[in-house]
Amino acid sequence: MEERLIIAGFGGQGVMSMGQLLTYSGMVENKNVSWLPSYGPEMRGGTANCNVMISDGPIGSPIVTEATTAIIMNKPSLDKFEKDVENGGNILINSSLIDRKINRTDVNVYYVPANDIANDLGNSKIANMVMLGAYLEL
Say how far apart CA 76 and CA 78 lie, in whole Å. Answer: 5
Q: Domain limits of the chain?
A: 2-137
Q: 0.85 exceeded by the pTM?
A: yes
Report the pLDDT value the prediction gives residue 103, as an integer from 0 to 100: 87
pLDDT in tens, 2-49: 999 999 999 889 999 999 999 999 999 999 999 999 977 655 666 799
Report the pLDDT value the prediction gives residue 45, as an integer from 0 to 100: 63
Report the pLDDT value the prediction gives residue 12, as an integer from 0 to 100: 87
Q: Where are the beta strands (DSSP E) in the chain?
A: 2-10, 32-39, 47-55, 67-72, 85-94, 108-112
Strands 85-94, 108-112: pairing kind: parallel
pLDDT in tens, 81-121: 999 999 999 999 999 999 999 989 999 999 999 999 999 99
Say how far apart CA 94 and CA 9 lie, in whole Å. Answer: 10
Residues 42/35, Cβ–Cβ less than 8 Å? no
Report the pLDDT value the prediction gives residue 42, as an integer from 0 to 100: 56
Average pLDDT (45-70) is: 93
Report the pLDDT value the prediction gives residue 60, as an integer from 0 to 100: 92
Cα dist from 121 to 115, 116, 118, whole Å: 10, 9, 5
From the list 92, 95, 81, 120, the residue with the least C-alpha distance to 18 is 92
Which of 3.40.50.620, 3.40.109.10, 3.40.920.10, 3.30.420.60 is the CATH number of 2-137?
3.40.920.10
Report the pLDDT value the prediction gives residue 39, as an integer from 0 to 100: 79
